[in-house]
Chains A and B, each alone.
Chain A
Amino acid sequence: MKVEIISPEATLYRGEVSFVYLPGSDGSLGVLNNHAPLISSLKKGVVRVKEVTGKEHKFEVNGGTVEVMNNKIIILAE
Chain B
Amino acid sequence: MANLKEIRIRIASVNSTMQITSAMKMVSAAKLKRAQDAVTRMRPYSEKLQEILSNVSSTLDASEGVYSRESDVKNVLVVAITSNRGLCGGFNNNVLKELRNSLRTQYAGANVKVLSLGKKAADVYRKTNMHYTDGFGETPYTIFDKLTFENVSKIANEIMNQFAKGKFDKVVIAYNSFKNAAMQQVKLEQYLPVVQTGGASASKVEYIYEPTKEQILEDLIPRSLKIQLFKALLDSNAAEHGARMTAMHKATDNAGALVKELKINYNKARQAAITNEILEIVAGADALNG
Contacts of B227 in A (CB 8 A): 8
- For residue A78, CB closer than 8 A to chain B, the reply is yes
In-complex Cβ contact of A26 among B46, B210, B230 (8 A): B210
In the A-B complex, the 8 residue pairs with the smallest Cβ-Cβ separation, listed nearest first, are A40-B210, A8-B149, A26-B211, A41-B219, A38-B208, A37-B207, A6-B45, A39-B207
Question: Which chain A residues in 9-60 approach chain B with CB under 8 Å?
Answer: 9-11, 24-26, 29, 36-41
The reply to whether A36 and B216 form a contact with Cβ atoms under 8 Å apart is no
Please list the residues of chain B having a beta carbon within 8 angstroms of any beta carbon in chain A: 38, 41-42, 44-46, 48-49, 52, 55-56, 148-149, 153, 205-211, 215-216, 219-220, 223, 226-227, 230
In Å, the complex CA distance between A74 and B48 comes to: 8
Q: How many residues of A contact B (CB 8 A)?
A: 24
The reply to whether A38 and B207 form a contact with Cβ atoms under 8 Å apart is yes
Closest to A8 in B: B149
Contacts of A36 in B (CB 8 A): 208
Given contacts A25-B211, A38-B207, A65-B216, 12 further A-B contacts (CB under 8 A): A8-B42, A8-B149, A9-B149, A11-B41, A37-B206, A39-B56, A39-B209, A39-B216, A41-B216, A65-B52, A78-B153, A78-B223
In-complex Cβ contact of B41 among A9, A37, A69, A74 (8 A): A9
The reply to whether A37 and B205 form a contact with Cβ atoms under 8 Å apart is yes
In-complex Cβ contact of B45 among A25, A37, A38, A76 (8 A): A76
What distance in Å separates the Cβ of A27 from its nearest Cβ neighbour in chain B?
9
Q: A26-B211, A40-B210, A41-B219 are in contact. Are A11 and B44 (CB under 8 A)?
A: yes
In-complex Cβ contact of B209 among A9, A40, A78 (8 A): A40
Contacts of A40 in B (CB 8 A): 208-211, 216
The reply to whether A39 and B210 form a contact with Cβ atoms under 8 Å apart is yes
Contacts of A10 in B (CB 8 A): 41
Contacts of A63 in B (CB 8 A): 219
Contacts of A25 in B (CB 8 A): 210-211, 215, 219
Which of A7, A39, A40, A78 neighbours the largest number of chain B CB atoms within 10 Å of its CB? A39
Closest to A26 in B: B211
Contacts of B208 in A (CB 8 A): 36-40
In Å, the complex CA distance between A69 and B208 comes to: 10
In Å, the complex CA distance between A65 and B219 comes to: 9
Contacts of B210 in A (CB 8 A): 24-26, 29, 38-41
Contacts of A41 in B (CB 8 A): 210-211, 215-216, 219-220
Which of B45, B153, B216 neighbours the largest number of chain A CB atoms within 10 Å of its CB? B45
What distance in Å separates the Cβ of A40 from its nearest Cβ neighbour in chain B?
4
Closest to A75 in B: B48
What are 16 A-B contacts defined by CB distance under 8 Å? A6-B44, A9-B149, A11-B44, A25-B210, A26-B211, A37-B206, A38-B209, A38-B210, A39-B207, A39-B209, A65-B216, A65-B219, A65-B223, A67-B52, A76-B48, A76-B49
Closest to B148 in A: A9
What distance in Å separates the Cβ of A39 from its nearest Cβ neighbour in chain B?
5
Contacts of A11 in B (CB 8 A): 41, 44
In Å, the complex CA distance between A4 and B205 comes to: 20
In Å, the complex CA distance between A39 and B52 comes to: 8
In Å, the complex CA distance between A69 and B153 comes to: 29
In Å, the complex CA distance between A29 and B211 comes to: 12
Contacts of B220 in A (CB 8 A): 41, 65
